[in-house]
Amino acid sequence: MIIKSFTAESASAALKTVRKEMGGNAVVLKTRQLTDRRGGPRVEITACLENPTVAQASVLSTPDASQTGRPALLEDSVRSAPPMEPADTGSTEAGIYRRLDELDRKLDWLVSVERPFRSSGGAPEAVRKIHDRLHDADLPEEFVSSVLGLALSQGGAEDNIEDRVRSTLVEHLSSVMTPAVTFQPGDRVVFVGPAGSGKSSVMGKLAARLVIQEKRKVSLVSLDDRKLGAYDELCGYAEVLGATVAEQVDSGGKPEPISDAIQLIDTPGLAADEEGRRVLAARLDQIDPGYRFAVFSSLMRSRDALTMATLMEPLAPTHTAMTMLDLTDRIGSALAVADVTGWKIALVSDSPGGIGDLKAPDPDRTARALLRTEVGLE
């Protein structure tokens, strides 16, 4: 087992570093709120990797000056304290506090290896219930532990713990959600994602909102040369909405710009092969859309969504859209993708294709839904 601490300006940034260096199997042991030398807020996350590969053990066991904590094998941490930073030669008092901080970190490591947030025991009943609710929503374990750790650091486990967890969730969700995205005439908006994720449905609902509610002119474009009837489906949307449809665009073409219209562009399902994804990325670069929405079905589990997000990175998404929230209350995949990639959740759909509106996500309502005090992501 390897244990290592990471610090960053926010919990989400620290978690990204954990995932980057330790992979998806890392487990968060402890989260602490710190301050830097200028008094600015910092978050330290201590994580462990139970079965590291030889390569991971070699890399993670190498000291990294960019991290506040030091990596150590669990057995070594029990036998001896982690290496201490040299005392500040300019201030004896500062050096003492630094050494005390290192000793405190070692004790934290030894106490936290029991993983207190496991629902099987260790944590108070109120904390275990919240843990189970967040886990049932398909939130990654490291995310759940981080949220609980930050909430517990603000008071006792029985003292309004649900309110503090909700407050912590709202703060974090606000950093991965954007309440409203506005489009201007001449903007190009593209939708990418795996087949069946709801790209065409999101595009149709957005077109309806722009045309009916915002009185905007819309032009629909299809790059989908794989799905039978993709162009006809687009024509159906356009006929109902009174929008225009661009002629089918071949692999070497580019839709003609319409200065007074917003172009919404559908794409084929994400190819399984790297070459297919490379071709689509090249087509998007040629079109140069200002907005690229990665569309995910909320029925997809978090780990699968993160794998899919890795495949979509060459397409350079700018935002995330979540669909099929009418079919499940597990919204962890959306949060996991936004947390790791930085593609903020901008559009959500909780009704079948062709029915209902697209909505902007609301952090407070989402937090209440996660804690089962209110239903709905919007």
Of 4-13, 63-72, 265-274, the poorest mean pLDDT is in 63-72
Strand-strand pairing, 72-73 and 218-222: unpaired
165 versus 159: the higher-pLDDT residue is 165
> What's residue 56's pLDDT?
59
Strand-strand pairing, 188-192 and 72-73: unpaired
Beta carbons within 8 Å of 129's beta carbon, 6+ residues apart = none
20 versus 305: the higher-pLDDT residue is 305
- Structural domain including 318 reads 188-361
Instruction: List, as own/partner pairs, every contact residues 233-242 make where C-beta atoms lie below 8 angstroms and the sequence separation is at least 24, other chains included.
Output: 233/200, 234/200, 234/266, 237/203, 237/204, 237/207, 241/207, 241/208, 241/211, 241/212, 242/211
> What's residue 151's pLDDT?
82
Beta carbons within 8 Å of 176's beta carbon, 6+ residues apart = 12, 335, 338, 339, 344, 345
- Which of 176, 199, 217 finishes a domain? 176
What percentage of the chain carries pLDDT values higher than 70? 71
Q: According to the per-residue pLDDT averaged within each range, which of 44-53, 67-76, 96-105, 350-359 is highest?
A: 350-359
Question: What would the pLDDT profile of 204-253 be if each residue is shown by its tens digit?
Answer: 899 989 988 899 999 888 887 766 566 677 777 777 777 777 755 555 55
The answer to whether residues 196 and 121 belong to one domain is: no
The answer to whether position 50 is within a domain reads yes
Three-state DSSP class for residue 142? helix
The answer to whether residues 163 and 285 belong to one domain is: no
Give me the helices (H) in 177-265, please.
199-208, 230-241
Q: Can you give the pTM of this predicted structure?
A: 0.65
The answer to whether position 368 is within a domain reads no
212 versus 76: the higher-pLDDT residue is 212
The answer to whether residues 204 and 347 belong to one domain is: yes
With b for 16 or more beta-carbon neighbours within 10 A and e for fewer, the 347-373 pattern comes to bbbbbeeeeeebbebbbebbbbbbbee
The answer to whether residues 170 and 203 belong to one domain is: no
* C-alpha–C-alpha distance, residues 371 and 260, integer Å: 44
* C-alpha–C-alpha distance, residues 341 and 167, integer Å: 23
Which amino acid, residue 284?
A: L
The answer to whether residues 354 and 283 belong to one domain is: yes
Question: What would the pLDDT profile of 79-137 be if each residue is shown by its tens digit?
Answer: 333 443 444 444 455 555 555 555 554 444 334 433 444 444 456 788 888 888 888 88
The answer to whether residues 229 and 254 belong to one domain is: yes
The answer to whether position 376 is within a domain reads no
The answer to whether position 375 is within a domain reads no
The answer to whether residues 31 and 141 belong to one domain is: yes
* C-alpha–C-alpha distance, residues 224 and 328, integer Å: 28
The answer to whether residues 144 and 19 belong to one domain is: yes
* C-alpha–C-alpha distance, residues 62 and 244, integer Å: 59
Average pLDDT, the chain: 76
Nearest to 19 by CA among 358, 364, 271, 340: 340
* C-alpha–C-alpha distance, residues 98 and 125, integer Å: 35
The answer to whether residues 195 and 216 belong to one domain is: yes
User: What letter would DSSP give residue 270?
Assistant: P
> What's residue 83's pLDDT?
42
pLDDT interval class at 1 (50, 70, 90): low
* C-alpha–C-alpha distance, residues 6 and 150, integer Å: 15
The answer to whether residues 101 and 214 belong to one domain is: no
The answer to whether residues 8 and 117 belong to one domain is: yes
Question: What would the pLDDT profile of 7-65 be if each residue is shown by its tens digit?
Answer: 888 777 777 788 788 877 777 767 777 776 666 778 888 877 766 665 555 556 554 43
The answer to whether residues 21 and 89 belong to one domain is: yes
pLDDT interval class at 319 (50, 70, 90): very high
CA atoms within 13 A on the CB side of 107: 6
What percentage of the chain carries pLDDT values higher than 90? 20
The answer to whether position 148 is within a domain reads yes
The answer to whether position 336 is within a domain reads yes
Rg (CA), the chain: 24
Indicate the number of domains in the chain.
Answer: 2
Tokens 């990418």 correspond to 192
pLDDT interval class at 73 (50, 70, 90): very low
Domain harbouring 270, CATH code: 3.40.50.300
> What's residue 311's pLDDT?
93
375 versus 202: the higher-pLDDT residue is 202
* C-alpha–C-alpha distance, residues 112 and 108, integer Å: 6
The answer to whether position 57 is within a domain reads yes
Three-state DSSP class for residue 277? helix
> What's residue 80's pLDDT?
36
Strand-strand pairing, 41-49 and 2-8: antiparallel
Tokens encoding 34? 């710190």
- CA dihedral for 53, 58, 64, 68, sign (positive or negative): positive
The answer to whether position 283 is within a domain reads yes
In contact, 296 and 321? CB cutoff 8 Å = yes
